[in-house]
């Protein structure tokens, strides 16, 4: 695969030699929307007594979900001090009213990413009004394949602008199962430059989900100052820990992988 630094230079037309302090494999400063050099490292130092609870986005994105499922999700997330619940937008208000400790995360442009930018912006604004504290957006994968990179940057940047007003974390789903390695590199670089807080592997609706090779690559690309969320097919604690060892600092799962 082509050198990541060279990909970044060609992608953004970088002509300076200004060093990046985020420890990203691109090495040179991307002049990101949000400079992360003073942010704390997001790498998780794995050890045998590490508890998964602090890194779990407990997820229910099934189309057949009913209120009772959301209530159970919130109660269990609070009981085990999980990081967040991740739900479809319809239930944001209900989850916000029933989660006492866990954050409410929702999805926009989900699961295909092919909504217009105006629709995604509206979804983000409405989600925040309803009570969401974190947003997982899906990029337009067709635009990535077509090399329409500026549209992707603008879309992420515009949504991040909305999130900044309320201190909302923005995670960008790149759907790694549909990308080759160079496309994963480019997608991560676009998300980083546009100001996203996390890159995320998967919706859970593609042909496969997270794997440690892709998670490790994503962490290598973005460096230590940006989040990496692994999701899709993570159904055991063993797999979750492998994702953390590979570089994830958030795990999306519909399984209750907790220390009780």
pLDDT, tens digit, for every residue of 124-183?
999 999 999 999 999 999 999 999 999 999 999 999 999 999 999 999 999 999 999 999
228-249 pLDDT, tens digit each: 999 999 999 999 999 999 999 9
Secondary structure class of 207 (helix, strand, coil): coil
**pLDDT for the residue numbered 235:** 96
Q: What's the pLDDT at 255?
A: 96
160-175 pLDDT tens trace: 999 999 999 999 999 9
- Which residues, 6+ apart, have CB-to-CB distance to 163 below 8 Å? 124, 128, 135, 169, 170
- Alpha helix positions (H), the chain: 4-12, 67-79, 92-98, 117-130, 141-145, 149-165, 181-194, 212-222, 237-246
Catalytic residue among 160, 200, 214, 225, which? 200
Q: How far apart are CA 4 and CA 186, in angstroms?
A: 9
Confirm whether 83 is a catalytic residue.
no
In degrees and rounded to multiples of 5, residue 244 shows phi and psi of: -65, -40
Alpha helices (runs of H) in 30-116, residue ranges in sequence order: 67-79, 92-98
Spatial contact of 202 and 232, defined as CB atoms under 8 Å apart: yes
**Sign of the C-alpha dihedral, residues 13, 19, 24, 26?**
positive
Residues 57, 136, 197, 214: which is the catalytic one? Answer: 136
Between CA 24 and CA 6 the distance in angstroms is 13
The yes-or-no answer on residue 200 being catalytic is yes
Other beta carbons within 10 angstroms of residue 217's beta carbon come to 22
User: At 230, phi and psi to the nearest 5?
Assistant: -100, 130
**Nearest 5°: CA angle at 102, between 96 and 107?**
65
What integer pLDDT is reported at residue 113 of this predicted model? 98
For the whole prediction, is pTM greater than 0.85? yes
Residues 58-62: what's their mean pLDDT?
98
Q: What's the CATH architecture for 44-253?
A: Alpha-Beta Barrel (3.20)
174-189 in b/e form (b: 16+ CB < 10 A) is bbbbbbeeebbbbbbb
């Amino acid at each position: 695969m082509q050198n990541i630094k060279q990909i970044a230079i060609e992608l953004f037309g970088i002509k300076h030699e200004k060093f990046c302090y985020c420890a990203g494999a691109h090495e040179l400063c991307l002049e990101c929307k949000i400079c992360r050099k003073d942010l704390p490292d997001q790498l998780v130092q794995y050890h045998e007594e590490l508890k998964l609870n602090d890194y779990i986005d407990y997820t229910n994105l099934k189309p057949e979900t009913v209120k009772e499922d959301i209530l159970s999700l919130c109660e269990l997330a609070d009981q085990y001090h999980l990081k967040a619940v991740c739900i479809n937008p319809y239930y944001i208000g209900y989850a916000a009213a029933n989660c006492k400790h866990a954050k409410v995360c929702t999805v926009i442009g989900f699961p295909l990413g092919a909504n217009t930018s105006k629709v995604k912006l509206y979804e983000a604004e409405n989600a925040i009004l309803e009570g969401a504290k974190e947003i997982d957006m899906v990029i337009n994968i067709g635009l990535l394949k077509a090399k329409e990179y500026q549209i992707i940057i603008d879309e992420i940047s515009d949504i991040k602008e909305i999130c900044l007003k309320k201190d909302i974390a923005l995670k960008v789903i790149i759907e790694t199962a549909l990308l080759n390695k160079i496309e994963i590199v480019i997608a991560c670089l676009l998300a980083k430059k546009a100001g996203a807080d996390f890159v995320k592997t998967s919706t859970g609706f593609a042909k496969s989900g997270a794997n440690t090779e892709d998670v490790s690559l994503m962490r290598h690309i973005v460096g230590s100052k940006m989040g990496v969320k692994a999701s899709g097919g993570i159904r055991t604690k063993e797999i979750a820990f492998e994702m953390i060892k590979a570089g994830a600092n958030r795990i999306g799962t519909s399984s209750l992988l907790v220390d009780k």
